Chains A and B, each alone.
Chain A
Amino acid sequence: MAEANARPEDQPTRRDEQPAEAGDGTAAQPAARSGDRSGARSGDRPARLEVHDVAKSFGAVAAVQGVSFPLYPGEAHALVGENGAGKSTIVKMLAGVHRPDTGTLRVDGVDVDFGGPGDAKAAGIAVIYQEPTLFPDLSVAENIAMGNQPLTKLRQLDRKAMNANAERLFRRLGVPLDPARPARGLSIADQQLVEIAKALSSEARVLIMDEPTAALSAVEVERLFSVVRSLRDEGAAIMFISHRFEEITALCERVTIMRDGKHVATELVADLSVDDMIRRMVGRDLSALFPKQDVDPGEVVLEVEGLSREGVFKDISFSVRSGEIVALAGLVGAGRSEVMQAVFGVDPYDTGTVKLHGRRLKKGSPRAAMAAGMALVPEDRRQQGLVMELSIERNVTLPRARKLARLGLLFGGSERAHAHTWTQKLQTKLGRLSDAVGTLSGGNQQKVVLAKWLATGPKLLIVDEPTRGIDVGTKAEVHRLMSSLAADGLAVVMVSSELPEVLGMADRVVVLREGRVAARLERAEATEESVMYAAMGQEVAA
């Protein structure tokens, strides 16, 4: 658990085993390295996969322009850049989803032209996409086996083998999921874990991971890393994308930095400090974390008492005052999102009460919750947060449409102005407000979800993994925004798997474990150890 937050110097030094020239003035001449890497390297270790001068545009948007870097066997390579820098576009080209407009991909030194994801897979490339894409009606095991299902002698699907395979992978990842359950209804973190298991199942020679850890807590991240490290040591080439720099220094040997679709540098991680990386990624200095300002809490806004739902959570009680940020911490599957979705009314509950400003809230009605001043930024932006086919503008104004209408009618102007204000406030990188929100990069989609709900002017804001997939610069901005809204009297409940975020932002921390409250910590008591201890129960004591 400490691993994910470790600084570079704490690392077991695989880097020491690197060929001697790894240190030879790489920092001194970055331009030369990024310009012609093949010459510098090919002598001792040919690249398993090479991206050579590729470019990709979507209409007028140049998503990737002239990017080159190699992936070596037995090495983990990080790809970093701000939201919309073009990371996922590169992933999709390596996966055969997009075809590069120009430039080439090389596998083991041979030019390849992937006609589709099948070709990439045949070349030994396994991909974990940023947004999980499971088939909801198939079982978890079937999803994992998708594409190379085991067959019985009678050429029927071999369910037994599928389930056993899934079970083996889950044990390796330490995931307590039932392989036979349908994928529908899995939390975003569990979906992510299933995608990881799926990628691992194919014995890939190249493993590409696009923000696999964005919804995971430190424990799951560490389990994932240990599996990935062993794959790497068996000779796989790894590409890893994350906005959490402590993860990059913990896992990766080499890093490629991108900015606005262009290649900035490819360096050894050991040669760069986190600040160096951030500076080259955003082009200026940044403070990575923004701690919450102290605010004298006002009157009680939200009171949750004895909330229970059979088999999901039990006897949950807590309250939030205006000006306060209360964090719900816990492991993946502890029931944090489920509790907050019941509070907001999108899910039912069996017993207990939810009171807002002392008034009991109607059960199971998001509309009543919204009318009372509640807003929920859900964890899963693709399924719950956004309507991908609709425009950015329509998405932002969706919960506000009735307020924006004049005489019951909506005319483009007020909606556009409204959407413009809020997407700007959240520094969303977008082309036109009329573009489908699905064409935005993952982090920018997340900003649109935040904009959509902040724009409703809530009195109680529930945010579930608010900065999932958001880059460092904007993350600090989102934290600053939440803090200043709290200073103006907003009450905030924040579900987050990212400990630094919890510790930096929360006035109080409520830790859930297996659907029950395991601890309530004041800001002064909340440390990495105390939160994790409560989240894991006995396990950590050993």
Chain B
Amino acid sequence: MSDRVATLRSRLTSWDSIIVVLTVLVLVVASFSVDNFGTSRNFTFMVLDLLPIILIALPMTMIIVTGEIDLSVASTLGLTSSMMGWLWNQGLSIESIIPLCIVIGAVCGVVNGFLITGLGLPSLAVTIGTLALYRGLAFVVLGDGAVADFPFDYTGWVTGTIGGGAVPNVLILIVALALIFGIVQHATPFGRSLYAIGANAQAAHFSGIRVARTKFWLYVVSGAVAGLVGVLWTLRYASARADNGAGLELAVVAAVLLGGVSIFGGKGSLPGVLAGVVLLTALQNALRLEDVSGQALNIVTGTLLVLSVLLPNVTTAVRGNWQRRKLRQAAATR
């Protein structure tokens, strides 16, 4: 009985649940106090803004849980966008370009994965390197120009809603992928092994977990997802450009950390991350509707991030202190 209460209390005071509550709070307050926030038009915009961050955050969460990082995702996105424009100019059909782009993203992931797990280089250094490399390649492919004449069937689908109603088409994609990644991360042996790897790679190795192979495939998946997002991004703005998605990796990492995933690995949950992404996007959207400047938006995002790292530590410290004081008082009155 008291066991269950204790479990419940520790679950309720864990950062992932705090962030979920905070997110709901922001959504509710914003829809009452910010004009136009609750409209279906704004909802569609918000989902479209959310789309790239949330999709890339799915594999990023797994990678950070294993104690690694992938900073090359936004550049992979840019490269696939460039390739998409170039292939379109070569006259390939859109039906063959889309899977090709996902493969290109996966190949970018293979390169990262090989450098990190095959050669044993640190992922931070490798993916900073490929961040520059892939973006450079994107400019080699397409230069400063843009390709814009993609078929409306596709661009319209990305920005459209189901039956012209309030639910954006891409929301289905988000929900489906989030479900798949959530189940894999939280209810499969593979997902379990990620936490073991992040918290103690040696013990994971001694338990028969193939640490290097697992990490390798995570990078491949991360690349493929970045490729898919490159396609969606290009279609949304109907514009293939080499600089598409520049800087997005920071937003993704920020959202993942805000969602309670430890940058040191071994800790975090996908629901927390999803809430983190929604919180960041909703807050930015609401502030923008209130005509807050871009710089101020950055300040808010940054502050949230620092708080997300700070608060969990503060709460445990406070809790410990409080308990000690109570025990001392009890002893004094005994």
Q: Which residues of A contact B (CB under 8 A)?
A: 55, 57, 59-60, 99, 101-103, 346, 366-367, 369-370, 376, 378, 383-390, 394, 397-399, 401-402, 404-405, 408-411, 431-432, 434, 452
Contact = CB atoms under 8 A, between A and B. Distances in A.
Contacts of A369: 208
25 contacts: A55-B331, A57-B323, A57-B327, A99-B324, A101-B327, A102-B327, A103-B331, A346-B206, A366-B206, A366-B208, A367-B209, A383-B200, A386-B203, A387-B195, A388-B200, A389-B199, A398-B204, A401-B189, A404-B189, A405-B188, A410-B187, A410-B189, A411-B187, A431-B3, A432-B7
A367 B208 contact: yes
Nearest to A99: B324
A404 B187 CA distance: 11
Interface string B157-196: 0000000000000000000000000010001110011011
B202 interface: yes
B323 to A, nearest CB: 8
Contact of B3 (A103, A370, A401, A432): A432
A386 B205 CA distance: 11
Contacts of A385: 203, 206
Contacts of B199: 387-390
B192 A394 contact: yes
Nearest to A56: B327
Interface string B237-277: 00000000000000000000000000000110000000000
The 8 closest A-B pairs by CB, nearest first: A401-B189, A102-B331, A101-B327, A389-B199, A387-B200, A367-B208, A402-B189, A366-B208
Given A60-B2, A346-B205, A376-B206, A401 B7 contact: no
A370 B7 CA distance: 34
A369 B7 CA distance: 37
A101 B324 contact: yes
Contacts of B209: 367, 398
Interface in B191-231: 192-193, 195-196, 199-200, 202-210
Nearest to B6: A60
Contact of B207 (A59, A103, A398, A434): A398
A398 B200 CA distance: 12
Interface string B1-45: 011001100000000000000000000000000000000000000
Nearest to B324: A101
A401 B327 CA distance: 41
A386 B328 CA distance: 35
A383 B266 CA distance: 15
Contact of B188 (A386, A399, A408): A408
Given A99-B324, A405-B188, A366 B196 contact: no
Contacts of A397: 192
Contacts of B204: 387, 398
A18 B6 CA distance: 51
Contacts of A57: 323, 327
Contacts of B210: 367
Nearest to B7: A434
Nearest to B329: A102
Contact of A384 (B6, B189, B203): B203
Contacts of A384: 202-203, 206
